[in-house]
Amino acid sequence: MENSAGTVLVPMEEKADAESQAAGATGKQAERDAKGKIIEFIWHLKREGYSEDTIKTYAGIMKSLISLGADIFNPEDVKTVIAKKRAEWSEGRWQNMIKAYSAFLKMLGCSRSKPRTRFKKGY
C-alpha cells in the first residue's frame, strides 16, 4: 500500500510480525553462541584436568543458567538470576552454581565479584 508521496505503507500487524521474527532470530543466534561457548567450556575443563563428574555438573549448570534466562556473557545478569533462585536451591547447588560460573568466566579471561558464600567443608 502506498501513500500519496509514493512511500510504501506496511500494516502494523505485518511490521510487528517482522520485528518479532527478527528478534527471534537474534535470540536464537545468541542461544547458539552460548551453547557453542559451553562446548568450548567443556573442552577447557578437560584440558585443565577436571574430573568427568565435575565437567558434567558444570556443563549442566551452564545449560540451567541459559534455560533460566541468564545471559551467560553478562556476569551481573547471571548474578541476578542466581540471587533470585537462591531460596529454591540447596546450599550445595547454590555453591556449585557460583563455582561453575566462576570457572566459565576464568576461561573467558574475565573476573567478577562473586556473591558472598561460606563454603562448608566436608567431613
CA contacts within 13 A on the Cβ side of 83: 9
Instruction: Please state, in angstroms and rounded to a whole number, the distance separating the CA atoms of residues 21 and 29.
Output: 12
Is the residue at 82 inside a domain? yes
> What pLDDT was estimated at residue 110?
82
Is the residue at 2 inside a domain? no
pLDDT band for 28, please (50, 70, 90 cuts).
Answer: confident
Provide the β-strand partners of residue 8.
Answer: 2
Is the residue at 113 inside a domain? no
> What pLDDT was estimated at residue 29?
80
pLDDT band for 4, please (50, 70, 90 cuts).
Answer: low
Is the residue at 5 inside a domain? no
Specify the number of domains making up the chain: 1
pTM, whole model, 2 decimals?
0.68
> What pLDDT was estimated at residue 24?
47
Each residue's pLDDT tens digit, 31-66? 788 888 999 999 999 999 999 999 999 999 999 999
Is the residue at 115 inside a domain? no
φ and ψ of 86, to 5 deg: -50, -45
Is the residue at 44 inside a domain? yes
CATH assignment at residue 81: 1.10.150.130
Is the residue at 72 inside a domain? yes
Which range is least confidently modeled, 50-59, 102-111, 114-123? 114-123
Burial of 54 (0-12, 13-18, 19+ CB in 10 A): middle
8 A C-beta contact, residue 34 and residue 104: no
Is the residue at 119 inside a domain? no
Instruction: Please state, in angstroms and rounded to a whole number, the distance separating the CA atoms of residues 14 and 23.
Output: 14
Question: Residue 114 pLDDT > 70, yes or no?
Answer: no
End-to-end CA distance of the chain: 75
Average pLDDT, the chain: 80
8 A C-beta contact, residue 32 and residue 57: no
Range of 16's domain?
12-108
